[in-house]
Amino acid sequence: MRYAQTLNRWNFTLGDYKTKVVIPHTWNVDDEVMKHRGKAIYETEIFVSLDLEGKKSLLTFNAVYHTAEIYVNDNFVGTHSRSGYTPFRFNVTDFIQFGENNTVKVIVDNTHIENMLPHKSDFDWSDDGGIIRRAKLEFIEPDAVEYMHITENITSINNGFASGTLKIKTNTDKPFKVKVYDYSNGKLVLEHDGSDIPFENLKLWSCYTPNLYVVTLETDNDIYEERIGIRKIEVKGEKVFINDEEIYLKGCEWMPGSHPDFGMAEPLDHSIKCLRQLKSAGCVFTRFHWQQDDAVLDWCDENGLLVQEEIPYWGYPKEAAGLQFDIAKQQADEMVFFHHNHPSIICWGVGNELGAQSESTINYVKDIIKYFKSKDSRRLVNYVSNTLSRVENTDKDDAALYGDIAMWNDYLGLWEPSDDIAGHMLRTCKKAEGMPLLVSEFGLCEPHFKGGDKERARILEERLSMYKDIHNICGYMWFSLNDYRTHCGEAGEDKMRRRVHGSTDLYGNKKPSYELLRKLQCDDE
Please give the pLDDT value at position 1. 77
Residue 377 to residue 182: CA distance in whole angstroms: 25
Q: Which helix (H) or strand (E) holds 327?
A: helix 322-339
Complete edge-to-edge strand list for the sheet that includes strand 245-246: 233-236, 239-242, 245-246
Distance CA 235, CA 237 (A): 6
Q: What integer pLDDT is reported at residue 394 of this predicted model?
A: 60
Length of the chain: 525
Cα angle at 76 between 71 and 77, to 5 degrees?
A: 80
Beta-carbon contacts of residue 44 (< 8 Å; ≥ 6 apart): 7, 9, 10, 11, 103, 104
Determine the Cα–Cα distance for residues 38 and 153; give it in Å rounded to an integer.
Answer: 47
Which of 285, 295, 396 has its CA nearest to residue 349?
285
Residue 453, H or E segment: helix 452-467
| 307/290 Cα distance (integer angstroms) | 12
Displacement of CA 170 from its chain's centroid (Å): 23
Give residue 390's pLDDT.
Answer: 87
**First-residue to last-residue Cα distance in the chain:** 48
Rounded alpha-carbon distances, angstroms, from residue 5 to 29, 46, 50, 135, 172: 27, 9, 15, 9, 23
Cβ neighbours of 525 (radius 10 Å): 8
Please name which of 147, 175, 182, 178 lies closest in space to residue 165, comparing C-alpha atoms.
178
**What pLDDT score does 319 carry?**
85
pTM over 0.85: yes
- For residues 308 and 287, the answer to whether their CB atoms sit within 8 Å is yes
Helices (H), 223-284: 268-280
Give the pLDDT confidence score for residue 525 in this predicted structure.
Answer: 63
> Going edge to edge, which strands form the sheet with 223-228?
188-193, 177-182, 213-218, 223-228
| E strand spans, 133-244 | 135-140, 148-158, 161-170, 177-182, 188-193, 196-203, 213-218, 223-228, 233-236, 239-242
Whole-angstrom distance, CA of residue 414 vs CA of residue 444 = 8
CB 141 within 8 A of CB 274: no
Please tell me the predicted confidence (pLDDT) of residue 351: 97
Backbone phi, then psi, for 353, in 5-degree steps? 60, 60
Give the model's pLDDT for residue 523.
Answer: 83
CA quadruple 278, 283, 287, 290: dihedral, nearest 10: 10
In DSSP notation, 237-252 reads TTEEEETTEE--EEEE
* Dihedral sign from CA coordinates of 42, 43, 44, 49: positive
> Which residues lie closer than 8 Å to 185 by C-beta, 6 or more apart?
none
Q: What is the chain's pLDDT, residue by residue, as a tens digit (525 residues)?
A: 799 999 999 999 999 999 999 999 999 999 999 999 999 999 999 999 999 999 999 999 999 999 999 999 999 999 999 999 999 999 999 999 999 999 999 999 999 999 999 999 999 999 999 999 999 999 999 999 999 999 999 999 999 999 999 999 999 999 999 999 999 999 999 999 999 999 999 999 999 999 999 999 999 999 999 999 999 999 999 999 999 999 999 999 999 999 999 999 999 999 999 999 999 999 999 999 999 999 999 999 999 999 999 999 999 999 888 999 999 999 999 999 999 999 999 999 999 999 888 999 999 999 999 999 999 999 999 999 999 998 665 667 999 999 999 999 999 999 999 999 999 999 999 999 999 999 999 999 999 999 999 999 999 999 999 999 999 999 999 999 999 999 999 999 999 999 999 999 999 999 999 999 999 999 876
- pLDDT on residue 396: 75
Q: Domains (ranges, CATH) in the chain?
A: 3-140 (2.60.120.260), 148-220 (2.60.40.10), 240-523 (3.20.20.80)
Q: Crossing angle of helices 421-431/452-467, nearest 10°?
A: 50
